[in-house]
Every structure is written in C-alpha cells, then in structure tokens.
Chains A and B, each alone.
Chain A
Amino acid sequence: GQNIDQPTEMTATEGAIVQINCTYQTSGFNGLFWYQQHAGEAPTFLSYNVLDGLEEKGRFSSFLSRSKGYSYLLLKELQMKDSASYLCAVMDSNYQLIWGAGTKLIIKP
C-alpha cells in the first residue's frame, strides 16, 4: 500500500531552527508538497519538490531525495506564528495525492 510517515508533534523554541521529516512509499512519484494549516484555517501551499535537492523560500526550505523516499521541511528563525500543522503529500503515478497525517509544530517563547 501507499504510505506517508511524518512525526505527530514537534516542539521548538522561538528563534531556533526545526526540521520536519517526511518519508514515503508510493506507486510512482510526480512530486512532493508541503502545506501549512493553522488551527481552524485552510491548509495553504508552502512548497513543491519534484527533483532532488533543496528549494529555499525565505525562512522555509524543502529538501527531497527520491532514491531514499525522503523529504524534510526546514524552518529557520522560528516565530510564534509558525505554530501550525505541516502536511506532507506525494503525488503518485496516477496523479493522486497521498497525504500524511500532519505534524503539529508547537513554538515556545
């Protein structure tokens, strides 16, 4: 079967760096997405990786290794507003999105 694994919850300190990992086993691969979802709000798109390597967007970066079935989202200079759930999703060979259960990130002052 198809599966996405990510930690259920992580805690980090304001100003620090945190890395949220995502591993996947899917039928084919057409890209990996990260979404951010604040409590009670819509998930919003953060990043899309289809080739190996690191994509940087301001304080957020996303890394992909297709051979290892692995990605991470790196958040730098953490702010309180970064407290949210982070959803990892992989698009399989049929262009279906397979979702992880999300990682709840708690930022402490």
Chain B
Amino acid sequence: ETGVTQTPRHLVMGMTNKKSLKCEQHLGHNAMYWYKQSAKKPLELMFVYNFKEQTENNSVPSRFSPECPNSSHLFLHLHTLQPEDSALYLCASSQDLGSGANVLTFGAGSRLTVL
C-alpha cells in the first residue's frame, strides 16, 4: 500500500484510558508529523520527526507522547486525556525538512473522542 495510513480511523476513550494512534508511510520520506485539526481552526503542529529524531515539540502537554521507531512508523500515545483533546489527529510525511517546496502527504486522520 502506498501513501500514509493511519489507524484507528475512529477512537472513543475515557479520560483514564491509555490508547495509541499509529501512522505508517511507504513513500520513502524522511520527515513525519503529527497535527491536531479542530473544527474551524488552523492545523496545529504537535510533533516533527526527521530521520527518527524529534526536531519539534510545540508545547504539547505530556499526556501526548510520540514515538518514532523508524522512518516509516510514527505513534502517538495517549493517556489521561481531557474532553478538549477531542479532535482529528492527522499524520503527515514529507521528503525532507527545511526546503521551500516541502509538500506534505497526509493520512486520513484518526477521529478521537474523549468522554
């Protein structure tokens, strides 16, 4: 399968649960990203990894914990979330960082609902 694949597509969890979101890309890209998308708001960058190393953490609360075991896989571990964390979580990849024409390829997202 080509492109960026995210699982699960939908997740409902209580505030005390622990769950993980998974992202996989088969494009040979070196950079991977987690974004949060809330209704009528701009995309919020959460984390960036380049060659498996975290290069950006945009003041994200510690209840979100990323993991990048290799250049093709990215996880977002979730624990003790709040209802305001309910949103669409998008994974993306790009060939590199730090170039102008840096086109992102997105996954379809994981729709998270926190009860």
Contact = CB atoms under 8 A, between A and B. Distances in A.
A42 B43 contact: no
Contact of B90 (A31, A43, A96): A43
Interface string A51-62: 000000000000
B108 A95 contact: no
Contacts of B90: 42-43
A74 to B, nearest CB: 20
Contacts of B98: 95
Contact of A101 (B41, B97, B100): B41
Contacts, number: 51
A11 interface: no
A100 B42 contact: yes
Q: How large is the interface on A (under 10, 10 to 19, 20 to 34, 35 or more residues)?
A: 20 to 34
A45 B101 CA distance: 11
Contact of B108 (A33, A41, A101): A41
A42 B108 CA distance: 4
A4 B42 contact: yes
A51 to B, nearest CB: 11
Contact of B106 (A43, A48, A96): A43
Interface string B11-38: 0000000000000000000000000000
Interface in A13-66: 30-31, 33, 35, 40-45, 48, 50
A50 B100 contact: yes
A95 B104 contact: no
Interface string A82-109: 0000010101000111111110000000
A48 B108 contact: no
Given A8-B40, A95-B97, A101-B40, A45 B103 contact: yes
